[in-house]
Amino acid sequence: MKITVGKENSTPINLYYEDHGKGQPIVLIHGFPLSGNAWEKEVAALLKDGYRTITYDRRGFGNSSKPAKGYDYDTFASDLDKLMTELDLHDVCLVGHSMGTGEIARYIGNYGSERVSGAVFVSPLEPFFLKTDDNPEGVEEKVFTGFKQAIMEDRLAYLTGFFQDFYNLDVTLGKSVSKEVVQYNWNVAAGASPMGTLNCVSAWMTDFRKDIPHIDVPSLIIQGDADRILPLSVTGERFHKQLKGSKLVVLKDAPHGIPWTHAADINRELLTFLAQLPAGKSMSFASSAPH
């Protein structure tokens, strides 16, 4: 299915989504540079446990439209809001991986949590990945400039290198991830918008620190301690300290692409978290729950 979220010149901008099952709705937001199919192992577990699962492809990726504009988190959050409104979703648990965690933070920051009962951040981008005077723990801007240059010079070669670190293939290949999975991921990424792939790098530098205080629902953070894309010390650990009431689960020796390599762990933690959610949003959670 598709919904229209905007227009570029004479062409509508459509988001592709899949909506399966019944029960409490779980919206799963994929990471860069993949599509909603990246959640196939989680969707199977959620459907088996009686949840309604909604996946969608971010603009520029998968089967969604590939406009030349709109690759920023205000637009991404607006796209998510249009999807939530179109499907009339309530009591939703938002689950994001990597870039997909940014949609959750900015959506709640911009639109509030009236429709949201919980949030799960897998390999998070938060709180702020760019190094600045007031964020000395971040990554130098020249690193992002290098990523952009590599994409402009040879996007397909860049993607090959990216997945090396996405899965820590020197350690995991043939064990927790097959060469076929890597090839499939590369194919999905190669079919993405070149402009979207390039411009998403700028989105990685988004500052989410003002969004975090607005996240007033039960929140779970899951990350591997061997994450080479978004290192735990720069992202998950700092995010956990800033997000009141959040729970942090660290997976030993796990890479960035844990929705595939550590799907059993993700599913266990996700289903446990969902089972503990209140019937509706707990407004008092953020102020009352311990770290």
Domains of the chain listed by start with CATH number? 2-280 (3.40.50.1820)
One-letter amino acid identity for 92?
V
- Provide the pLDDT for residue 291: 36
Q: Determine contact, residues 138/127, Cβ cutoff 8 Å.
A: no
pLDDT tens digits in sequence order for the chain, 291 residues long: 999 999 999 999 999 999 999 999 999 999 999 999 999 999 999 999 999 999 999 999 999 999 999 999 999 999 999 999 999 999 999 999 999 999 999 999 999 999 999 999 999 999 999 999 999 999 999 999 999 999 999 999 999 999 999 999 999 999 999 999 999 999 999 999 999 999 999 999 999 999 999 999 999 999 999 999 999 999 999 999 999 999 999 999 999 999 999 999 999 999 999 999 986 443 334 433 433
- pTM comes to 0.95
Write down the pLDDT at residue 278: 81
Residue 247 to residue 219: CA distance in whole angstroms:
6
pLDDT for residue 283:
37
What is the rounded CA–CA span in Å between residue 95 and residue 137? 26
Print burial letters for 95-117: b (CB count within 10 Å at least 16), e (below 16): bbbbbbbbbbbbbbbebebebbb
User: How far is C-alpha 60 from the chain's CA centre?
Assistant: 15
Give the per-residue pLDDT at 148: 98
Residues designated as active site = 98, 227, 256
Residue 279: the pLDDT is 63
Cα–Cα distance for residue pair 244/254, rounded to 1 Å:
25
CB-based contacts of 124: which residues, under 8 Å, 6+ apart? 96, 98, 101, 221, 223, 230, 235, 236, 239
User: Which residue in 204, 201, 181 sits closest to 257, CA to CA?
Assistant: 181
